[in-house]
């Protein structure tokens, strides 16, 4: 069940409460744990969205799984959204929370996709350029490898993308040759 508006409202409430109680960092760690659990465990994600398992059973399972790993605030929050039958939104709420947290802390997310893993010097250079572009704000750089790029990289940050891949340059050349701007005068 995806509903970004509802997830954003719950995430904002959780962030505001965590900030008020000085538990923002602990709550951030808990949300990262939930995101990771949803990505790594299909069973956990199916549990969240299952209409067959009743609310009381889900609460028992969530307490068993999460109570030792998350803060009391997060556990209470999970119980509240489960009682309201919104547990299917937990992954979306956690992701929305992370966006709000990053915005609050001035952290910008960027993704770089390259044909090979970046070496340390290149990673530092990319981070320096991005920090300078964002007036010194912190940058979280996610690295991905896609061998189909052949070489170069694709950088995404916010709603912008810079494609400096060999694949893109080859595609541009193909388009240019297809349009045949040059016509023979024979």
For the domain made up of 4-103, give the CATH fold.
Answer: Peroxidase; domain 1 (1.10.520)
pLDDT score at 183: 63
Residues 6+ apart with CB under 8 A from 140: 102, 107, 108, 109, 110
Give the DSSP H/E element, type plus range, for residue 36: helix 24-40
Q: Determine the length of the chain.
A: 186
pTM, 2 dp: 0.76
Q: Which residues of the chain have pLDDT under 70?
A: 1-2, 180-186
pLDDT score at 179: 79
| Residue with the two structure tokens 């530092």 | 124
pLDDT score at 41: 92
The residue ranges of DSSP E strands in the chain, in sequence order, are: 107-114, 138-145, 153-157, 160-163
pLDDT score at 176: 82
């Amino acid at each position: 069940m995806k509903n970004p508006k509802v997830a954003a409202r719950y995430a904002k409430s959780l962030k505001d409460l965590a900030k008020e109680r000085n538990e923002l960092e602990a709550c951030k760690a808990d949300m990262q744990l939930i995101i990771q659990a949803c990505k790594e465990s299909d069973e956990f994600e199916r549990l969240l969205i299952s209409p067959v398992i009743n609310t009381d059973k889900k609460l028992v399972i969530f307490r068993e799984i999460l109570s030792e790993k998350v803060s009391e605030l997060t556990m209470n929050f999970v119980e509240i959204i489960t009682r309201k039958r919104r547990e299917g939104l937990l992954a979306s709420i956690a992701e929305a929370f992370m966006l709000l947290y990053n915005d609050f802390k001035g952290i910008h997310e960027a993704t770089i996709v390259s044909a090979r893993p970046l070496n340390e010097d290149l990673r530092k250079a990319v981070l320096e350029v991005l920090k300078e572009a964002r007036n010194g704000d912190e940058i979280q750089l996610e690295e991905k490898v896609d061998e189909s790029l052949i070489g170069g990289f694709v950088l995404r940050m916010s709603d912008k993308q810079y494609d400096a891949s060999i694949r893109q340059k080859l595609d541009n050349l193909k388009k240019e040759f297809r349009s045949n701007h040059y016509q023979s005068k024979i």
